[in-house]
Structures are given as C-alpha cells and as structure tokens.
C-alpha cells in the first residue's frame, strides 16, 4: 500500500508540473510584451518585424492556460556560398541556454526533421530546410522563455545562421504520445516489479 501510494503521489506531482495545473492565462499587458519579444525587438539590428500583431493579440486573448504546439518552418541563411544549416545553428551557444529553459518550463521538442520536396503541384514556392515542433506547457511559459534575458542573448546566435522562420502555433485536438502516459507506465512497471 505504501509503495503504490508513493508511486501515485510521484505521478500526480509530475502531472501537475508537466501540465501546469496552477498556470493562469496571459494578461493583456503580457500579450503586448510577448509581441515585442517575438517581433525581434530584442535584437538591435533587427528593426523590421514580420510578426503579425493581430495574430499575437488573438493568441494572447484566447489563452486557456493549456499546452500548445509551435510549428517552426526554417530557411537557412547562405553565407559565402556555404549553407549554414538550421541543425548546425543549434550549437552549444544556443542550445545550452534555450533547451534548459524549455525543460524548466515543462516544454520540449516533439519533432526535429529535415523536409523533402513537397508533393503539391504546383510546388509551394517556399523551400524549408528544417522543421521543428515544440510542445509548450502553456502560453505563459512561452512568454517567460522569450522574455528571459538569457534567451534574448542566445537568439542572436540563431539569427546568424537562419534566414527566416515561419512560426505557427496550434492547439492540440488529437494528441499522440503524452509524456504523462510514459511516466505513468514506468511507475506501473516499477510497482509491478517491486511486488
């Protein structure tokens, strides 16, 4: 009984942290700050923004405090006739800052892939060099990550190798494998082995 009670408590603690049961929705002011951070105003030499303020405003106002996924379609920057890949851009200078911030806030990559040619005809003009899908615990966590001074510094390393990124947030309707299920199954296995 003690073993199973302990395992249940561990699972509930993990689920509480991973799903952010206590996290509130973004405020109107936080939505404005989020736009400023996402629009590139954190980098002095990036004065022009391609971020849609109406989209960010809608993103903030429709916040339900739950997890969402961010699709990143990345186009590499070409320097001195040499491709600097999006995967190469995730170097120590960037990853050592961003990845710990993601994990700290219950966020993590779901998919990192290199796209092939599109099946569509006529082909879409945009050619992407990498696809990243990141699971964010909440919109409040995204806000905390992108407004973190350490993230703002690390962003410059990404800008040096990436020409452009199309960012599409999405709300999950039918989720695949959930990390809660994996942790739950591991705890069940531990309980089964120990009894």
CATH number at residue 33: 3.30.70.100
pLDDT at 47 (0 to 100): 47
Q: Does some domain include residue 6? A: no
Number of DSSP helices (H) and strands (E) in the chain, helices first: 8, 5
Dist CA 93 CA 152 (whole Å): 12
In terms of residue numbers, what domain contains 126?
26-175
**Which residues, in sequence order, are bridge partners of residue 68?**
136
Q: Identify whether 87 is part of a domain.
A: yes
* Segments of the chain scoring below 50 in pLDDT: 42-47, 81
Angle between helices 92-104 and 149-159 (to 10 degrees): 140
Distance, CA of 15 to chain centre: 19
59, 169 contact by CB (below 8 A): yes
Question: What are the tens digits of pLDDT across the range 86-100?
Answer: 566 565 667 788 889
Asked if residue 184 is part of any domain, the answer here is no
Number of domains observed in the structure of the chain: 1
Cα gap 128→86, rounded to integer Å: 10
Angle, vertex CA 138, rays to CA 37 and CA 126, nearest 5: 60
Q: pTM for this structure?
A: 0.85
The string of pLDDT tens digits covering residues 6-28 is 999 999 999 999 999 999 999 99
- Give the C-alpha separation, 110 to 92, whole Å: 20
pLDDT digits (tens, 9 = 90+) for 101-120: 999 999 999 998 888 877 77
Residue 127 domain-assigned (yes or no): yes
């Amino acid at each position: 009984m003690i073993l199973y009670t302990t395992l249940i408590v561990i699972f509930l603690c993990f689920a509480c942290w991973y799903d952010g049961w206590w996290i509130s929705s973004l405020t109107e002011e936080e939505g404005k700050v989020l736009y400023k951070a996402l629009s590139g105003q954190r980098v002095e030499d990036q004065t022009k923004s391609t971020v849609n303020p109406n989209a960010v405003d809608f993103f903030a106002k429709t916040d339900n405090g739950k997890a969402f996924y961010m699709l990143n379609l990345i186009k590499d920057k070409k320097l001195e006739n040499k491709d600097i890949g999006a995967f190469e851009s995730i170097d120590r200078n960037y990853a050592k800052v961003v990845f710990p911030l993601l994990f700290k806030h219950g966020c993590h990559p779901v998919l990192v892939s290199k796209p092939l040619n599109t099946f569509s005809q006529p082909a879409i003009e945009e050619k992407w060099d990498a696809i990243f899908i990141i699971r964010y615990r909440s919109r409040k966590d995204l806000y905390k990550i992108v407004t973190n001074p350490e993230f703002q510094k690390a962003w410059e390393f990404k800008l040096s190798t990436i020409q452009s990124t199309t960012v599409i947030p999405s709300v999950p309707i039918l989720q695949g494998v959930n990390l809660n299920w994996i942790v739950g199954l591991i705890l069940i296995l531990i309980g089964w082995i120990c009894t």
